[in-house]
Structure 1
């Protein structure tokens, strides 16, 4: 049984007519565009109304699973476990402090199709082995929230298996369950995936005044207006944020391009034509990456070309030394304004007659002709 099936069964057993509502904030609403935006789910805040009492003998946990298209997999499952014991706190420290903004997924390129989000706010009975087990499962799942997702997906089966064992282990109290699937557009009878905050609250949906909910500093507030609103208490709840990003800024994790670049430069020093051919092969590999949107693929390809040309130029001069900056890719990509790059390639992406290979060819031609700087 998959994690998603586990959540569906739990939802069927425990579901009540609780509150599910989007919450307005100062976040700009962005329409997700296939291949152009990243999706990321965050647990902004979780709250148990009886937290101090529960923490004496229970461990609070939010277990989540996101299923979406990644690469050639139309239903890639990304599990995560969030809770205070992932910080290795002892029981006396639980319930103290502020814990916000757990990343439940990596930045994942949005490719349309079906996106399913499931989450449960649970309290597990504390056992001698439980903290170590939770920490182990969390460590595995955390690998899926940083760096290149494609290189860490080989451990996802272990993560799912470990979390399934966690779900089934020991006694637990189920406080809140959520499941929703997004596909298509609202205007055509679908459920649009939109960025922004939404809350799931263990309150009577018919009586709760959702119009009095606000988000301030990643925390759920309740009041007559945003200025006078205070933190919501008296209810169990989960506050989520769906993030839509145009670009990423963690290219230090993409160091596998370094060795390929070294090969291109080595060839280019003796035969510029061969070096150029290897460079183009590397850039084509970038456009096949499952981890990047078209904007970032273009930025990475442009950065590779600039680095290649600069190193060839320096090394062709007798006695010249090239900087040993190991963060060159990250530095060069971050220096390229994603908004500008997006505008430059938008006519290509808007052409519905082009498939992925044709889009890559056209954008790479722009890069090679220095039309993108």
Structure 2
């Protein structure tokens, strides 16, 4: 689907207005220094567009970037769009992707709205793909495989039906120094109006799209538009995900039971963190140290630890000890 939307966007380039509005508080994201996630923050389909009861808006959106052995992986969503895209001013905050590590290279971001007939093939595809949307999350290697197969299936549907986006946007980001648009937090905006026809400058105010014509920002009205938010973070939201926590618990229980496989299970848990593709390299090392410390708590507590501050043993990102830390050190 990335090719379909990209082709549509550049074909329509002379008929739509595009802008990237950087977050003034956000910094540029360098490779291996953080994570990116894409949100649909706002969308509006002008009331002049008649949809009727037998049509609805289907939403496609996502990102394509370098990830693991897959080279460039796609993480995308295709589902029934939030109904409030027909009402101006609604802050949707709809995640199009999970939080993804940025290893470098190009990051392609896109979103598109399609007009789907209730009993048509595109509606069926939106229903099936939407049901799978909950699987497009950690572990990310599995999510990438699922998203890729879903996207390939949607390409077949679009080829067969000839459906084109009602409105779509595609843009590319990269790390500083490449000469292109630098990856950082901000809003990607597409307005269904020719460049220069709006009579002012697009801007964000209170989290919503506005147009400043010289007398202050005012809400944009009368035209279709989409607003995507590019979120860049320096750390993940959750460190001890369920699969990692399960490994910690298994090792702790083995120790309490006096089983001979405790050391092997501890090694497997630390190795799983050390090689976790969901994190940038520096955070894999920090997580591995946290996992080792969590498992070893069972020796002092006499029970598998649970609850509390899960990051209390997490080393700071600038801890000098991390530079010399080896995998073997955590197994000692």
Give distance in 2, aligned partners of 1:70 and 1:346: 27
Q: Flag the 1:129–1:122 CA change in 2: closer, same or farther, 3 A.
A: closer
Q: Secondary structure at the match of 1:153?
A: helix
Q: CA–CA distance in 1 between the matches of 2:194 and 2:321?
A: 46
In 2, distance between residues paired with 1:24 and 1:8? 22
1:344 alignment partner in structure 2: 319
Match of 2:273 in 1: 286
In the other structure, the counterpart of 2:222 is 234
Conserved 8 A contact 1:37-1:247: yes
Higher mean C-alpha deviation, range 290-299 or range 30-39? 290-299
Partners in 1 of 2:321 and 2:43 — Cα distance?
Answer: 39
Contact 2:58 2:79 in 1 (8 A): yes
**Which of 77, 80, 86 lines up with 1:80 in the alignment?**
77
Contact 2:58 2:80 in 1 (8 A): yes
Gapped regions of structure 2 (runs ≥ 5): none
- The 3-state SS of whatever aligns with 1:243 is strand
Which of 57, 62, 65 lines up with 2:59 in the alignment? Answer: 62
Contact 2:270–2:291 (8 Å) recurs in 1: yes
Aligned equivalent of 1:213, options 180, 183, 203: 203
| Deviation readout 1:154-198 (Å, 9 max, x if unpaired) | 42343213432453465756332322222353x553332222112
| Correspondence for 2:170 | 179
Instruction: Tell me by how many angstroms 1:201 deviates.
Output: 1.0
The two structures have a TM-score, normalised by structure 2, of 0.81
Question: Where do 1:1-373 residues align within 5 Å?
Answer: 3-25=1-23, 28-50=25-47, 53-84=50-81, 95=86, 98=90, 100-127=92-119, 131-144=123-136, 146-168=137-159, 170=161, 172=163, 174-185=165-176, 188-209=178-199, 211-217=201-207, 219-223=208-212, 229-251=217-239, 253-259=241-247, 261-263=249-251, 266=254, 275=262, 279-294=266-281, 296-315=283-302, 322=303, 325=306, 328=307, 331-335=308-312, 341-344=316-319, 348=323, 361=326, 365=329
Tell me if the contact between 2:251 and 2:295 (Cα under 8 Å) persists in the aligned partners: no
Kindly state the Cα deviation for residue 291 of structure 1 after the two structures are TM-superposed.
0.5
Kept in 2: contact 1:38–1:244 (CA 8 A): yes
| TM-score (ref. length: structure 1) | 0.73
Task: State the aligned residue count.
Answer: 331
Distance 1:208 1:336 in 2: 53
Q: Tell me the alpha carbon deviations over residues 101-123 of structure 1, each in whole angstroms, 9 at most, x when there is no partner.
A: 22111111000012122322322
What is the Cα deviation at residue 30 of structure 1? Answer: 1.7
More helix by share: 1
Q: Residue 45 of structure 1: CA displacement?
A: 1.1
Change (3 A) 1:82 1:336: farther
CA distance in 2, matches of 1:277, 1:166: 48
Structure 1 portions without partners, runs of 5+: 316-321, 349-358
Q: Does the 8 Å contact 1:61/1:121 carry over to 2?
A: yes
Task: Give RMSD over aligned pairs.
Answer: 3.6
Deviation readout 1:103-155 (Å, 9 max, x if unpaired): 111111000012122322322233267655422211223321x3322233342
